[in-house]
Structure 1
Amino acid sequence: MRDTTVELHGREVAYTDIGDPDGTPVLFFHGAPMSRRNLGDQHTEFAEAGLRVLTPDRPGYGGSAPAPGRTLTDWADDMAAFADALGLDRFLVAAHSSGGPYGVVTAALLPDRVRGTVVLGGVTDFAWAPAWEGYSPDECAMMRLPDEKAALEWGERNLGEGPSEWPEPDRKLFATRHVPHLAASAKEAFAQGVGGYTQDAWVQGRPWTFDPTAVAASFLVAHGDQDTVVPLVHATHTAGLVPGTELRMLPDHGHVTVLWELPGMLTELRERR
């Protein structure tokens, strides 16, 4: 795994580069609280699939500099600059959990560069009222605060350690060799404190201000059928926003186990016209 940085718009962005260095490029957007190291132990699987997976930390996470006042749509500009800096013309996009909206906005605002997108267990637009139902009460409280400053203050006082109960497939996963890797990735998310995560959660609660119908390439929304972290209605709602979306339920999967389906799904997307 290559773990390095690049400067974008005057800010340092940390990212990892795994898989086949000559393979099809993929930009992966991690969940929250996670970091660029989220997929580190899948290097071999991605390499065998001929995929080069690049995972940037979002602002304030891990090794990426904060970006006060950022918006969701700013991410597409960042990813265009990121791809330019790495010499990438077109690429696939994959996103997980709270990274989901970042996958949608990138596909919508960079339609000439995104070859296809897969969103796994992703959250949807919280302007849709049912999105709040069944979602984490703590995150909902943070997302409903009036501004970033209030969210940061709340996070410093109240931030917990993630869901208290995980779906059964995830609990089984956490009992395997993957535990140290995932725990280290989550710990790295807080390398600069709670600011990256609290800003991310607050931005997540803002209405989407872009047009999802602008997505031009294949779009796949996949969700574990036992996911209790992000409600299934998030997947169905996002699928309804993007024309031509394929909605796929993954049997016997929770919220985290779906990540091991990525090599196969990305290979599918690469082969589609």
Structure 2
Amino acid sequence: MALHVIDPFRIGTEQLPGGRLLGWAEWGPEDGVPVLLSPGAATSRYLGFGADVLDGLGVRLISVDRPGLGASSPLPGRTFGDFADDLRAFAGLRGLGRPLMVGNSQGAPFALACAAAGTVGALAVVSGADEVAEPRFADTLPDDLRGLVELAVFDPDAAEKIFGGFTARAMWDLVMSGSPACDLAVYRQPEFATAYRRALDEAFAQGATAGYARDTVLAMGRWDIELTAIAVPVDLWYGEKDTGHSPDHGEGLAARIPGAVRHLVPEAGGSLLWTHAEQVLTTLLGHAPVS
């Protein structure tokens, strides 16, 4: 399927309490329903989704760079809770109230932290990275991944040094070599590939240690997120052919979140955010408060 991937309509930064900057990019109508995006691994605010449906749905999509990625100031030693605090401050500065949110791939646990903190009003997790350090996954992970997970749990500083050696090119090669054909058909489309490569370059502009490495240690380690405390609607979306984000396609993750609904999409892969944008957003909008 052909995708419509376009540059952001509006970009900028907000200064948080304490002086750090948080970079953002927007698509869709300025008066639309605010939907925050926590992007996937090592991608900046530049890569959005659903460009061809945002106007029709009345969605104002706002992608936010996590600390140390893109235009956002680094925050050494940050936690999931720090990100939820950042997003609460950001929403206040932009007058967003309690916005809806989408968390994609490695951005998923950061979005779940926002849901647990009550920062957002509802959440869609799309091809979300699972808590692979959970003991129930120990026997299902490939040996190389299991080794990295154990390092992230027991020696996070050493793990962060390893991930600090990653580059934008290395991330591109990793994704291209490990994705099924249904995803490569998306990622290799010229419009998408150009936007994705730019988002990777921007995300690594401050170096991997400032952003990607800390993100990955947090995502691969044990999560300090009270999933059972989440009191907002959560939908989890996984493609049937996606083997890279959750060993059980989010089944166990959904069971840990009160009231969560899991959607398993046939014949789809990890590129679900782009191939099924309208379905994801329409379901999320169904959780928006009636004005």
Percent of pairs with identical residues: 29
Note if contact 1:16-1:36 (Cα within 8 Å) is conserved in structure 2: yes
Match of 2:87 among 72, 79, 93: 79
Give the Cα separation in 2 of the matches to 1:64 and 1:131: 33
Q: Quote how far apart the aligned CAs of 1:92 are.
A: 0.7
Q: Quote how far apart the aligned CAs of 1:104 are.
A: 1.2
* Structure 2 residue 116 is the aligned partner of structure 1 residue 116: no
- Matched with 2:155 is 146
Give the unaligned 5+ runs of structure 2. Answer: 1-8
Give the Cα separation in 2 of the matches to 1:206 and 1:269: 28
Note if contact 1:123-1:234 (Cα within 8 Å) is conserved in structure 2: no
Give the Cα separation in 1 of the matches to 2:235 and 2:203: 27
Q: Quote how far apart the aligned CAs of 1:202 are.
A: 0.9
Match of 1:24 among 4, 29, 33: 33
Moved more, 135-144 or 198-207: 135-144
**1:227-263 CA-partner distances (Å, limit 9, x unpaired):** 1221342511210111111110012211124333233
TM-score (norm 1): 0.89
Moved more, 65-74 or 232-241: 232-241
SS at match of 1:94: strand
- Matched with 1:62 is 70
* Structure 2 residue 182 is the aligned partner of structure 1 residue 169: yes
Note if contact 1:11-1:65 (Cα within 8 Å) is conserved in structure 2: yes
- Matched with 2:239 is 224
The amino acid across from 1:134 in the alignment is L
Note if contact 1:145-1:151 (Cα within 8 Å) is conserved in structure 2: no
Give the unaligned 5+ runs of structure 1. Answer: none
Note if contact 2:39-2:45 (Cα within 8 Å) is conserved in structure 1: yes
Which residues in structure 2 correspond to 1:155-194 (within 5 Å)?
155-157=163-165, 160-161=170-171, 162-163=174-175, 164-176=177-189, 177-194=191-208
- Matched with 2:5 is none
TM-score (norm 2): 0.84
Give the Cα separation in 2 of the matches to 1:225 and 1:95: 18
Note if contact 1:120-1:223 (Cα within 8 Å) is conserved in structure 2: yes
- Matched with 1:95 is 103
SS at match of 1:53: strand
- Matched with 2:258 is 243
CA RMSD of aligned residues (A): 2.2
Note if contact 2:130-2:253 (Cα within 8 Å) is conserved in structure 1: yes
> CA 1:3/1:188 → structure 2, altered by over 3 Å: closer, same or farther?
same
SS at match of 1:118: strand
- Matched with 2:3 is none
Note if contact 1:151-1:199 (Cα within 8 Å) is conserved in structure 2: no
